[in-house]
Amino acid sequence: MKIFALYFSPTGGTKKVLDIMISAWDCEKKYIDISDKRDILLDISFSESDICVVAVPTFSGRVPGFVISKLRKLQGNGIKAMLITTYGNRAFDDALLELKDTMESCGFICSCAVAAVTRHSVLPKYGKGRPDFADVEKLKQFSLQCKERILNTIGSASVPGNRPYRNYIPIPIKPKANKRCIGCGLCYQKCPVHAIEQNNYKVCDKSKCISCLQCVAICPKKARKINPIILKIAEIKMKNLCGGRKQNRIFY
């Protein structure tokens, strides 16, 4: 038995949750970064006893579109899957449902699903410090529950959400490189949607950029920044929606 842990975690929160959620398993674990530009998902071949875990952030209440396109290339052949979405203390809306529909259309049995709160990657004031100690304890319990569910039942999880899924609304937050940029090209290599120009890393195609902030997180010179005025406006706008302490949820 092997766990295939597929993830997209542009700023690290989703990967943190994924690690906790697979902590109950002591078998071999193979991590696969969905944002890798090579078509590595095509090379995966599952055997009957393997388990597929998919962990993605919620963007605008949905799963980022490029992730869905990549997942559609998988062939589940009836193996079991655990689904994880993270969200920045607003809501995960239709993200789990979209993820489940996609995985089931590829032949997986989605036994269980988890939505977990993480620091909001764009507005870090919201979900600050999460997952915190209480979250980690809760997610460890979820990990055990999911293991039990995957090993001992055959049903498919019932997850919240609506069809048609809510409209994906892109956010107007597009990072730019400043003069600290040394032209190393890492942001170009790591941008999952080819938004950064190959011959000029300071040029970003705003129509392609999904505001994931992977380029900001990996820049060795911290040279990629978001316009602070736009950020402040977004922070004020989201105050009511992102306030309070939202919960981690499990579904099966």
How many Å apart are CA 97 and CA 100, to the nearest integer?
5
Of 120-179, binders to ligand FMN (CB under 6 A) are 120-122, 171
Among 6, 67, 88, 99, binds ligand FMN (CB under 6 A): 88
Judged by CB under 6 A, the stretch of 39-47, 51-59, 178-186, 188-196 that binds ligand FMN is 51-59
Q: Is the dihedral of CA 116, 121, 122, 125 positive or negative?
A: positive
Q: Give 111 or 121: the residue with its C-beta nearer to ligand FMN.
A: 121
Applying CB under 6 A, does 87 fall inside the site for ligand FMN? Answer: yes
Asked whether the bond before 172 is cis by omega within 30 degrees of 0, the reply is no
Q: Toward ligand FMN, which CB reaches closer, 50 or 94?
A: 94
Helix, strand or coil, per DSSP, at residue 208: coil
User: Which residue among 4, 53, 61, 96 contacts ligand FMN (CB under 6 A)?
Assistant: 61
Q: Which residues bind ligand SF4 (CB under 6 A)?
A: 175, 177, 181-187, 191, 193, 195-196, 201, 204, 209-215, 219, 221, 223-224
35 near ligand FMN, judged by CB under 6 A: no
Pattern 180-219, binding to ligand FMN, x per CB under 6 A? -------------------------------xxx------
Helix (H) or strand (E) holding 223: none
The residue type of 65 is G
Tell me which residue has tokens 């306030």: 243
Question: To the nearest whole angstrom, how small is the minimum distance from the Cβ of residue 206 to ligand SF4?
Answer: 9
- What is the C-alpha separation between 46 and 29, in angstroms, rounded? 13
Q: Smallest gap, in angstroms, from Cβ of residue 12 to ligand SF4? A: 14
Contacts of 4 (CB under 8 A, 6+ apart): 30, 32, 44, 46, 50, 51, 52, 53
Q: Does 89 bind ligand FMN (CB under 6 A)?
A: yes
Taking phi over 0 as left and psi of -120 to 50 as alpha, with beta for the rest, 32 belongs to: beta
Q: Shortest approach of ligand SF4 to residue 152 CB, angstroms?
A: 40
Q: What is the rounded CA–CA span in Å between residue 24 and residue 27?
A: 9
Task: Closer to ligand SF4 by CB, 150 or 219: give it.
Answer: 219
* Closer residue to ligand SF4 in complex, CB, 81/177: 177
Axis crossing angle, helix 133-152 with helix 13-21, rounded to the nearest 10: 50
For the CB of residue 121, give the shortest distance to ligand FMN in the complex, in Å: 4
**Which CB, 63 or 219, lies closer to ligand SF4?**
219
How far is residue 201 from each of residues 24, 177, 205, 224, measured CA to CA in Å? 41, 8, 11, 10
Q: Which of 90, 147, 149, 190 binds ligand FMN (CB under 6 A)?
A: 90
Terminal Cα-to-Cα distance of the chain (whole angstroms)? 22
Q: Which residues bind ligand FMN (CB under 6 A)?
A: 9-14, 57-61, 86-91, 118-122, 171, 211-213
